[in-house]
Structure 1
Amino acid sequence: MRNTLLLLLALTLFACTPTQQVTQTTTVTTTTSTVPQQAVTEEVMTTPAENPKAFYNKTEHYITMRDGVKLYVAVYTPKDASPENPYPIMLQRTCYSAQPYGADQYPEDFSRLQELANEKYIFVFQDVRGRWMSEGAFDNMRPYVPNKKATSQIDESSDTYDSIDWLVKNLPNNTGKVGVWGISYPGFYSTCSLIDAHPALKAVSPQAPIGDFYFDDFHHNGAYTLAYWSVNNLFGIQKTAPTSEAWYQFPNMGPDPYDFYLRHTPLSKLDAVTDQDNFFWKEIMANPDYNEFWQKRNIVQHLKNIRPAVMTVGGWFDAEDLYGPLMTYGNIEKWNDKAYNTIVMGPWSHGDWSRRKGRQAVSNVFFGENINEDYQADVEARFFHHWLKGPADGETGLAEAHMFDCGTKVWRDFANWPPEDAIEQNLFLSEKGRILEEGEKTESASTSFISDPAHPVPFNTDIKPLFIPRKYMADDQRHVARRPDVLTFTTEPLTEDLTLAGPINAQLFVSTTGTDADWIVKVIDVYPDNHPDYEETQDNLTMGGYQQLVRGEAFRGRYRNGFEKGVPFAPNEITEVSWKLQDVMHTFKKGHRLMIQVHSSWFPYVDMNPQTFVPNIFEATEEDFQAQEHSLYHAGEYPSNIKVSVLTR
């Protein structure tokens, strides 16, 4: 169980095997596990993070929500807490289990809490409604209910409020100040805590927070994230009673996920191999458009009147949740003039910053030593110390935007994000695979290719069981650059550094012989031929000529007029398709080249478009999947281009 959860999302900040089940009760459990004085003496050379059992007492409780549902919490209180030495509370709410269960059961260590655990807080881990040892029913991205008028109206914000209210009133030796943090789904719950926040809540760090399941995790601009189908059972099967054991199973796709998903196209074939009790899969299939079902689950639209201090954290190579951190920070900044609001974006995949591993790399690319450890000590610990133990005056010494440049591999600080002095620049896609700047002319009208659903463009070269795809975010793109259904555009070697800082937007003018099409645009850093290998470089690759994905994003063309309703293409009619690829902070160094790739499938990261318009792609038949010719236009009134934000200093 432990390895499964860690492999799944690496989201639980400590991970141990669940043991005995807590007996469900309506009364507070006050059993405390203590360590004999002799044991503490023997462990004097260890730290709280290394040996939490020696430094923390554990208790377990059920907290009753306003509608009567009881939620489980595990509480770890420093042994030296007293009325004269109280501690703030650090709360994490999770759907991934507050294990290990049992008042005498401790995690092996608090390594993922390293700096915070050593400084010592009262740590509280809660199973959210409908998960593990808590009562109630689970709902994915449970919609926020504004202006609640009855105790039956609940959401994750009210559950957080009720939990904090109980904790500050009932946990001995707390200071009455609370911090909340969490990664991914716990990041979403952290965001929810900001809305209608309890007065005791002083500091919140949503980390890789899900902002909207239609743009994070399970969809990308209308395209279904097919590679995440394998985790649907985790999110879509209700348990029948509080439990310390997993009640769901993951499917066996065999050794080659590309082959598995190709054999299960159309998407309706997956229905036969999906657990029939999976309510989330049914919801996904029934709601292909950005309709009310998804819209009301958009948490970032509610980030107004924010009172606690906020530090949003994300990774530039986060395959699951890149949209969420940027939108969380951006909307708080837009709607809350007086809020303390900061953002940290590092050279990380999903949740990397919580790990302690010395060398930080994503895919084959090495970014530096002790990046995670330095963040934990100098940024995260400082943020919470200031607001929960320090002066709480906003003078944290932290930058508004602490951003890692993934090209120069150094941190840069900005007064805002995106940087105000970044200059927009258009990169025009031209004939013969060239990239032109504004003012240069292109002669060829268009470039065409055949997109065949039977032979989709792979998103990576690895042939192995696929769980959650992550490393592809910095993978080598040479495996597709040579394909005839991938258009490649490249600059000459740069004569000086080129730093992109901020959003990237694609504006394509296209046509298709079919009635629907997807479009994928990738911005790539092409290394010089003499670039040395790293320790992390795969044996079958060399970093000389490496084509590193810097940013890539899919767009389902039917949603070019809005995500609420898909509309077909008129065959052979030139049409504009525009979308945002998300932000970057990346310097293309002198001697490198900038490459842009354009194609129409990215399999099986996103599902294959049949290229014949059907109202619901989840109901498409095999006959709907047809090879079509797509054209990209360059010249005159149809100048396909990529708009970037360039820093000149």
Structure 2
Amino acid sequence: MPQQKQSLLDVRVQRDVRVPMRDGVSLSADLYLPETEQQVPAIVVRSPYGRAGEYIYNMAPYFAARGYGFVSMDVRGRGDSDGEFIPYFNEGADGYDSIEWAAAQPWCDGAVGTMGASYLARVQWLAALTQPPHLKAMISTVTPSDPFVETPTGVPGPQHLCWLYMTSGRMMQDVDVIDWEEVYWHLPLLTMDEKTGKSLPRWREEVKHSRLDDWWRGIAYQERFHELDLPVLHISGWYDDEQVGTPLNYIGMNTRARTEFGRKHQKLVMGPWPHQVNRSTRLGELDFGPQSLIDLNGLSLRWFDQWLKGEENGVAEEPPVSIFVMGENRWRQEQEWPLRRTRWTPFYLRSGGRANSRFGDGWLSTEAPGEEPSDRYSYDPANPVPFITDPTSSQIGGPDDYSAVERRDDVLVYSTEPLEEALEVTGPIRVRLFASSSARDTDFMVKFLDVWPNGFAQRLTDGMVRGRFRKGMDRPELLEPGKVYEYDIDCWNISHQFQKGHRIRVEVASSAFPKYDRNLNTGAELGQGTEMVVAEQTVFHDREHPSAIILPVIPRE
């Protein structure tokens, strides 16, 4: 990164500054201001996690010392801010008022940018949609998607309850006092909050809204990129448990922003990181090397220098996409996402009718099947396939080893032969699955893995479909038992080079617990029941039903 032109300035801090909202509620903010007589741009960060935590201390003095007024604010109902915390529902209007308040301060020159990660990222989009006139640029990191994009089940994932518990008071609640693994087994889903010892009305309200309706659309943003016209720096990691939102947002703004200016000035950075981006070279058992960490503050500073200060520092002319290719473990710059040179290659599910477990006869082939027997397994909600994860909501899953899980007969396993040369897969991953069930409603989960020569089965990505939502989250329709349906399963995105001697693997199952709630297979109203039914599942892969994972293969340079 080039050296910054401006000299470092002393920083003064003003704490618990009251910021009035349009309805009379006041929010609490800390100001980090440079010691200068000149007016400066403002950076606004709005958080439910405390306006003075480690995340803020790592950023606020950095930007203030380089000529920005940094506003760190508790969102409504959290910390020292007044009002009631209702996740996301007040953030559009409050974001507008906060941005315009900052722009009107005597120390501000009228240019405002926003930044933040996770909840702090999504609230930027909700605020931007209200069209605050002084908002000039955003930095959106590990951004949650619209409702049911990450969890297309009609109900919140069990680990979302952990997040609601953590944010259920004005200050952060200690989640380590709860046995979350025991909590997640509770049925019905609607009253799972009882197992925490604390009533969480928000949990029950979300469970009751078990389809994409007007209640959810009030906090959606990903269908409205055509209303926006802002330069946005989009940042996430391949193992971010909310990863799917960031590439979708980049594509949405890059193709649908209101003007050519907005479409042109988007930048995407995807590293080998979890939800806590750019913190460590290691993730689980893997070490991606020192090159996997970047000067993220420096990149963010250059972004704001360009769009808030008007400095022509070259950031607008650089390639808009920076990706870390795992396996090869190097950064690469690209001109678009997905890559135009992609060869979309179907790898077909094949077997002799016994693909159950990694000891079965399933394989993957680029040759389409002819007449071929189907695979069968029983899905029992009382004994779901585990998804490997820590129990809290801080990070759901990683590059974990699924070789032990693959010993189960209710997991179908399809693998290639060891690769004769390295193969790069970079882009969105989708699965076309033909399947039937004995149940009126059930789930199908797909996992995409890299199997090392020593047997380590590294999870790369995964996805799922709930049968009743196969036509969309706003159009639930139960299954006809025994009927074959074609399912389109989004397995998110990856950039990974399979090394010579490794194998590509796909798992198919009907549960991934506790990442997703257990489908009880009854077809009853979601979240309400305790009765379970064992579902007999059949996966087809023949000439008429060519089940396949479609991989974005990148030709070798």
TM-score, normalized by length of structure 2?
0.89
After TM superposition, the structure 1 = structure 2 runs for residues 578-589 of structure 1, keeping only pairs within 5 Å, are: 578-589=488-499
Counterpart in the other structure of 2:44: 91
Q: Residues 52-88 of structure 1, C-alpha deviation per residue, up to 9 Å, x if partnerless?
A: 9x7433344212222322222110112x3223xx432
Q: Secondary structure at the match of 2:195?
A: coil
CA contact (8 A) 2:193 2:199 kept: no
Matched, 1:435 2:344: no
1:308-319 → structure 2 map (5 Å cutoff): 308-319=230-241
Find the partner of 1:61 among 7, 17, 35: 17
Q: 1:559 aligns with which of 444, 469, 494?
A: 469
CA contact (8 A) 1:430 1:442 kept: no
| Matches for 1:425-574 after TM superposition, within 5 Å | 425-431=345-351, 432-438=361-367, 440-460=368-388, 466-468=391-393, 470=395, 472-529=397-454, 545-574=455-484
Task: Give 1:528 shift.
Answer: 2.2
Q: 1:170 maps to which residue?
A: 105
Q: Which digits, 9 at most, give the CA deviation of each residue in 1:293-322, with x for residues without a partner?
A: 223321222223433321111111011x22
Counterpart residue type for residue 561 of structure 1: K
- Secondary structure of the 1:412 match is strand
Partner residue in 1 for 2:358 = none
CA drift at 1:610: 0.7
Query: Structure 1 residues 629 and 433 mapped into 2: Cα distance closer, same or farther (>3 Å)?
Result: same
Aligned partners of 2:193 and 2:200 also within 8 Å: no
Which residue of 1 is the match for residue 323 of structure 2?
A: 403
Shift of 1:372: 3.2
Shift of 1:586: 1.4
Equivalent in 301, 323, 346 of residue 271 of structure 2? 346
Q: For 1:133-532, list aligned pairs within 5 A.
A: 133-142=80-89, 155-172=90-107, 174-216=108-150, 219-222=151-154, 224-235=156-167, 237=168, 245-246=171-172, 250=175, 252-254=177-179, 257-262=180-185, 264-268=186-190, 270-273=192-195, 277-319=199-241, 321-336=242-257, 337-339=260-262, 340-353=265-278, 355=279, 359-369=280-290, 371-377=292-298, 379-391=299-311, 395-431=315-351, 432-438=361-367, 440-460=368-388, 466-468=391-393, 470=395, 472-529=397-454
The size of the alignment, in residue pairs, is: 537
Quote how far apart the aligned CAs of 1:527 are. Answer: 1.4
- Ranges in structure 1 where 5+ consecutive residues have no aligned partner: 1-46, 101-106, 143-154, 530-544
3-state DSSP class of the match of 1:160? helix
Equivalent residue, structure 1, for 2:487: 577
- Structure 1 residues 640 and 201, CA, compared in 2 at 3 Å: closer, same or farther? same
The match for 1:81 is 36
What SS does the aligned partner of 2:348 have?
A: strand
Amino acid at match of 2:226: K
Q: CA deviation at 1:178?
A: 1.9
Residues 198 and 397 of structure 1: is their aligned pair in 2 closer, same or farther, counting only changes over 3 Å?
same
Match of 1:637 among 520, 544, 557: 544
Contact 2:369 2:541 in 1 (8 A): no
Contact 1:522 1:597 in 2 (8 A): yes
C-alpha offsets along residues 184-239 of structure 1, whole Å, 9 cap, x if unaligned? 000012223432443432221111122213224xx34546411222222245x4x6
CA, structure 1 residues 271+234, in 2 after alignment: closer, same or farther (shift >3 Å)? closer
- Contact 1:345–1:402 at 8 Å: present in 2 too? yes
Question: Which residue identity is paired with 1:509?
Answer: F
Could you say what secondary structure the match of 2:289 adopts?
strand
Asked whether the equivalents of residues 223 and 554 of structure 1 are also in contact (C-alpha less than 8 Å), the reply is no
Listed one character per residue, the Cα deviations across residues 551-597 of structure 1 (whole Å, up to 9, x for unaligned) are 11122122112212332222222222222111211121222110000
- 1:408 is matched by which residue type in structure 2? E
**Is the CA contact (8 Å cut-off) linking 1:197 and 1:308 kept in structure 2?**
no
* Offset, 1:277: 4.7
Partner Cα distance (1:302, 1:208) in 2: 19
Distance 1:422 1:618, change over 3 A: same
1:507 alignment partner AA: R
More displaced stretch, 58-67 vs 398-407: 58-67
Where do 5+ consecutive residues of structure 2 fail to align?
1-6, 352-360
Structure 2: which amino acid aligns with 1:551? T
What is the root-mean-square deviation of aligned Cα atoms in Å? 2.6
- CA–CA distance in 2 between the matches of 1:201 and 1:385? 14
Q: Is the 8 A contact 2:115 2:121 kept in 1?
A: yes
Bigger radius of gyration, 1 or 2? 1
User: What is the deviation of 1:376?
Assistant: 3.2
The within-5 A match list for 1:611-626 is 611-614=521-524, 616-621=525-530, 624-626=531-533
SS at match of 1:473: coil
CA gap of 1:273–1:258, structure 2 versus 1, over 3 A, is closer
Opposite residue 464 of structure 2, the aligned amino acid is: A
| Partner deviation per Cα, 1:157-197 (whole Å, 9 max, x = no partner) | 3333322322232243x333222100000001222343244
**Contact map agreement 1:523 1:596 (CA 8 A) in 2:** yes
Give the drift of 1:258: 4.2
* SS of 1:489 mapped into structure 2: strand
| C-alpha distance after superposition, 1:338-391 (max 9, x if no partner) | 2111111111111323x4xxx4122211112153343333x2232122223342
- The answer (yes or no) to whether the contact 2:292–2:324 under 8 Å persists in 1 is no
Give the whole-Å Cα distance in 2 for the aligned partners of 1:278 and 1:471.
21
**1:626: how far off?**
1.8
Q: Distance in 1 between matches of 2:109 and 2:286?
A: 44
Query: What is the Cα deviation at residue 471 of structure 1?
Result: 6.0
Distance 2:296 2:33 in 1: 25
